[in-house]
Amino acid sequence: MVDHEPTIKEAIDNEASSESFKDSNKQTTYNPLSERRFRLPIIVYHSIDDYGTSLSVSPTLFQKQVRFLAEHGWKTLHLRTVLKLLDKRQSIPRKSVVLTFDDAFPTVLEQAQPIMNQYGMTGTTFVVTSQVGLKPEWFRLDRRYKERALLDRDELDRLADSGWEVLPHTHDHPVLTHLPLAKQITQISTSRERIQEWYGTDASILAYPFGQFNSETQQAMREVGMSVGLSLRFSVRISTATMFDWPRIGSAWFKDSEFRQHLGLAGLLELYVKLKQRIKGDRSRHFQNPSPETTRGL
């Protein structure tokens, strides 16, 4: 029996020396002696707009969701803060929540930041480093999002200056599972290095584009020296035995329902989501076969 809880590095080393990794969005059983489990809702958003797409949450609904969090005593944490608490073997404060925004769409600064600021909350945005300040181009992206540039450096700096975290989302937003190991390493390392160069802070936490990862992705994460990989597996239950598959809960599942939001934060929506996903079919079927779109320019 181990006589201490593992540090982040020890957890990753134990993870690397345990059973073979499985593919995207599936948990793997690792050495239980290295494991520390805790609950932490990490909510994923993309764009705060009225487009009604799968990436959208309307400004009105977003304000309602943030107000709900504030009125019920939830406080936002940065992911780096979570890692520091784990390394110090301290508990995650009760009613902590992480609000993440993938892709750095312009509405993060225009809509999300002002609304969250009203309630004393900050967030984390994951940045596609090759497309900062440019109109985005990647797989399965609605044309309306391609008409406006992503946040540029000055705008990202404004977010960072207001207390937000800026973290990597790969360099080009490919489907990582469609790339060989060497190119996955390049995508992850380049993105991390850019963020660290810009902000002088650790950028070892990455959100996988489309939530897709496989055993080679996890190997790439270890080789680059990453600490955490965030997927789109719906759960609030996190384990240090699966550092490269930390789950997040999709805000779209809350719909316009405070009751659903309450259940989601409490970890009581997970069975419902799994059943709905089984009925609708596995989302990963869209990512099974590489194509010029999924590996654009790589």
pLDDT score of 23 more than 50: no
- Tokens linked to 203: 């950028």
pLDDT for position 18: 47
| Residue 292 confidence (pLDDT) above 70 | no
Q: Which of 10-14, 25-29, 127-131, 253-257 has the lowest mean pLDDT?
A: 25-29
3-state DSSP assignment of residue 184? helix
Distances (CA, A) of 202 to 10, 81, 101: 18, 11, 18
Q: For residue 40, give the nearest of 10, 8, 81, 3 by alpha carbon.
A: 81
Q: Give me the mean pLDDT over the 210-233 stretch.
A: 96
Q: 136, 143 in Cβ contact below 8 A?
A: no
Confidence of residue 3 (pLDDT cuts 50, 70, 90): very low
Whether pLDDT at 290 is above 90:
no
Q: What average pLDDT does the segment 244-250 reach?
A: 94
Greater model confidence, 139 or 28 = 139
* pTM of the predicted model as reported, rounded to 2 decimal places: 0.86
193/97 Cα distance (integer angstroms): 27
* Residue 205 pLDDT greater than 90, yes or no: yes
Question: How do residues 61-80 score in pLDDT, each as one tens digit?
Answer: 999 999 999 999 999 999 99
Query: Which pLDDT score is estimated for 253?
Result: 78
Q: DSSP string spanning 161-182?
A: HTT-EEEE--SS---GGGS-HH
| Gyration radius of the chain's alpha carbons | 18
* Residue 99 near residue 82 (C-beta atoms within 8 A): no
Q: Which residues contact 157 (CB under 8 A, 6 or more apart)?
A: none
Tokens of 223: 């080789």
Beta strand 165-168 with 205-207 is unpaired
Residue 272: pLDDT band (50, 70, 90) is confident
Better pLDDT: 100 or 262? 100
- Quick one: average pLDDT of 13-29? 44
What pLDDT sits at residue 22?
41
Structural element, H or E, at residue 124: strand 124-127
Is-contact 42 98, C-beta < 8 A? yes
The Cα–Cα gap between 41 and 76 comes to 10
| Diameter over CA atoms, the chain | 56
Percent pLDDT > 90 in the chain is 69
Answer for the pair 175, 290: CB distance below 8 angstroms, yes or no: yes
pLDDT range class, residue 30, cuts 50, 70, 90: very low
pLDDT of residue 257: 79
Q: Which domains does the chain have, with CATH numbers?
A: 38-287 (3.20.20.370)
pLDDT at residue 192 tops 70: yes
